């Protein structure tokens, strides 16, 4: 079937096989790519209107027990100073998100599962839940036990982001240390669903050795897991990590990966339709002035502006080229509002912005 016939079927929401999704990702030329983005943006408009949901991102700790081969805050990187914000600092950042009208916060950290940490997270969740803003609260704190997921859910977290990073077990194994097991990641995703979270996952795009077939299978994985939210972005080599050192970028590689990431967003929107899809910060790392906006125009509907203090920003560089290292939260907000207005999109203020998919999946709509 030719590309445009396929795109028409995708636009109508017909079921696509993995090989067909792969064909979409390999757009034959620039005109086809434009058509792909336009079709996906059309589906975004159908389900989300011209609204963008905002999540205030708080990177509250970079202390990590894991040693993922791509990540700039992996345990064995010595050059970052390790921090954990105090409960007061974290609550202040959440309050800032509320005052800004962001409607929700994402609390993200390195992975720890010691009782001191899990108890601390419970405490901050309770404090943020008590703020007068009705904020949606997303956690992104890695693999945890069912007991911990349930405790955090009870303390007020409603969403959880846990990327599968790659749904291909062989790629997963290549980019993680042996103790980080694919089956365990899958089990954690299932636990989160069982614990009634709005479930988010995602992958890195443009990993060494990853093909369009692999990425198409990632989209099928999202579909099978029936997730509510997708957070995915281009892989960016970090020069202090084993993967970054072994596979440095050739000139022009980053721009190519950005293109591929935008196509992934578009294909995911066409296949999954009513989920929330974030225009990841990593897009902005490659194209500072247009990355996230291009993400929206390719079908994403969520942006996660940083609301933390700039103090720790340099020590939370998962990849090189992280944007806004010195911009404080009000400056980040200003810039974002201007750039959204320029593409005719409207921030949805003071709304938690729950994914429609979750309401339908759980029969609450
Ligand atoms: N490039 C792009 N994304 C990265 N992440 C971690 N390291 C990198 C990198 N070098 C992403 C992972 C993780 C999320 C918090 O950040 O997908 O799940």
pLDDT the model gives residue 281: 92
Locate tokens 């943020």: which residue?
128
Question: Ligand 1, closest atom to CA 238?
Answer: 10
pLDDT tens, 88-111?
999 999 999 999 999 999 999 999
Question: Ligand 1, closest atom to CA 202?
Answer: 17
| Alpha-carbon gap, residue 173 to 210, rounded angstroms | 13
The closest residue, in CA terms, to atom 13 on ligand 1 is 163
Our mutation pick for probing the ligand 1 site, out of 70, 73, 201, 229, counting the most ligand atoms within 8 A of Cβ, is 70
| Alpha-carbon gap, residue 222 to 40, rounded angstroms | 17
Mean pLDDT score, 344-357: 93
Percent of the chain topping pLDDT 90:
90
pLDDT the model gives residue 259: 97
pLDDT the model gives residue 327: 85
Name every residue whose Cβ is closer than 8 Å to that of residue 236 and which is 6 or more positions away in sequence: 254, 257, 282, 285, 286, 319, 320, 321
pLDDT the model gives residue 329: 85
pLDDT band at 30 (very low <50, low <70, confident <90, very high): very high
What is the rounded average pLDDT for all residues in the chain?
96
| More confident of the two residues 244 and 313 | 244
pLDDT the model gives residue 364: 77
Our mutation pick for probing the ligand 1 site, out of 204, 230, 261, 317, counting the most ligand atoms within 8 A of Cβ, is 204
Question: Which of 16-20, 207-211, 273-277, 347-351 is least confident?
Answer: 347-351
pLDDT the model gives residue 278: 98
Mean pLDDT score, 290-306: 96
Task: Tell me, in angstroms, the distance from the centre of ligand 1 to residue 318's CA.
Answer: 6
DSSP-derived secondary structure for 121-167: HHHHHHHHHTSTT--EEEEE-----HHHHHHHHHTT--EEE---B-S
pLDDT the model gives residue 139: 98
Q: Is the pLDDT of residue 87 over 90?
A: yes
Question: Which of 54-58, 95-99, 164-168, 333-337 is least confident?
Answer: 333-337
pLDDT the model gives residue 320: 87
Mean pLDDT score, 188-211: 98
Task: Tell me, in angstroms, the distance from the centre of ligand 1 to residue 235's CA.
Answer: 7
pLDDT tens, 207-223?
999 999 999 999 999 99
pLDDT the model gives residue 159: 98
pLDDT the model gives residue 233: 97
Task: Tell me, in angstroms, the distance from the centre of ligand 1 to residue 204's CA.
Answer: 7
Q: Is the CB of 238 under 6 A from ligand 1?
A: yes
Q: Is the pLDDT of residue 311 over 90?
A: no
The residues pairing with 229 across neighbouring beta strands, listed in sequence order, are 200, 276
121 with 151: CB under 8 angstroms?
no
């Amino acid at each position: 079937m030719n590309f445009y016939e396929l795109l028409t079927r995708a636009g109508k929401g017909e079921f696509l096989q993995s090989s067909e999704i792969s064909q979409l990702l390999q757009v034959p030329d620039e005109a086809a790519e434009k058509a792909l983005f336009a079709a996906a943006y059309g589906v975004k408009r159908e389900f989300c209107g011209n609204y963008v949901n905002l999540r205030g991102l708080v990177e509250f700790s970079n202390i990590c027990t894991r040693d993922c081969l791509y990540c700039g805050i992996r345990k064995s990187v010595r050059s970052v100073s390790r921090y954990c914000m105090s409960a007061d600092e974290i609550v202040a950042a959440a309050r800032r998100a509320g005052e800004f009208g962001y409607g929700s916060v994402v609390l993200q950290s390195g992975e720890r599962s010691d009782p001191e940490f899990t108890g601390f997270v419970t405490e901050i969740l309770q404090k943020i839940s008590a703020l007068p803003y009705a904020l949606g609260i997303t956690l992104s704190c890695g693999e945890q036990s069912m007991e911990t997921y349930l405790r955090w859910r009870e303390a007020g977290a409603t969403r959880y982001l846990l990327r599968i990073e790659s749904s291909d077990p062989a790629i997963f194994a290549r980019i993680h240390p042996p103790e980080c097991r694919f089956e365990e990641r899958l089990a954690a995703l299932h636990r989160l669903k069982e614990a009634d979270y709005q479930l988010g996952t995602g992958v890195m795009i443009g990993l060494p050795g990853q093909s369009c077939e692999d990425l198409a299978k990632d989209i099928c994985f999202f579909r099978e897991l029936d997730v509510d939210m997708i957070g995915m972005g281009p892989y960016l080599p970090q020069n202090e990590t084993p993967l970054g050192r072994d596979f440095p970028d050739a000139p022009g590689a980053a721009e190519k990966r950005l293109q591929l990431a935008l196509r992934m967003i578009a294909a995911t929107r066409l296949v999954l339709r009513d989920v929330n899809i974030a225009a990841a910060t990593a897009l902005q790392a490659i194209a500072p002035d247009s990355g996230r906006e291009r993400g929206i125009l390719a079908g994403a509907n969520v942006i996660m502006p940083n609301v933390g203090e700039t103090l720790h920003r340099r020590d939370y560089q998962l990849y090189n080229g992280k944007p806004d290292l010195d911009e404080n939260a009000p400056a980040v907000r200003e810039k974002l509002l201007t750039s959204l207005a320029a593409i005719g999109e409207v921030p949805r203020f003071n709304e938690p912005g729950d994914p429609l998919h979750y309401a339908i999946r759980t029969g609450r709509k």
